[in-house]
Amino acid sequence: MAVLVVSFIFSMIFYLALTAGSGTAFYYWSSSELITGVFFSLIAAVLAKKLIGSSGIKPGWQFMNPIRWVKFLVFAFGPFLYNLTKANIDVAGRVITGRIDPGIVKVNTGLKNDFGLMLLANSVTLTPGTLSVDADSKRNLYVHCINLENKDRKCDNVCGSFIKWARRITE
Single out the segment in contact with other proteins by CB under 8 A; choices: 1-9, 37-45, 54-62, 89-97. 89-97
168 binds other proteins (CB under 8 A): no
Fill in the DSSP letter of residue 63. Answer: G
Site for other proteins in 1-20 (CB under 8 A): 14, 17-18, 20
Q: Closest by alpha carbon to 78, among 171, 170, 164, 148?
A: 164
Q: Torsion angle of alpha carbons 127, 77, 135, 66, nearest 10°?
A: 180
Q: Which of 153, 150, 167 is nearest to 107 (CA)?
A: 153
Q: For residue 24, what is the enclosing H or E element?
A: none
Question: Measured from the CB of residue 137, what is the shortest distance to other proteins in angstroms?
Answer: 7
Q: Which is nearer to other proteins, 1 or 89 (CB)?
A: 89
Tell me how many helices (H) and strands (E) the chain has. 6, 3
**How many residues at the interface with other proteins, by CB under 8 A?**
39
Does position 47 interact with other proteins (CB under 8 A)? The reply is: no
Chain residues in the site for other proteins (CB under 8 A): 14, 17-18, 20-21, 84-85, 87-88, 91-92, 94-96, 98, 100-106, 121-123, 125-126, 129, 131-134, 136-137, 142, 144, 146, 148, 153
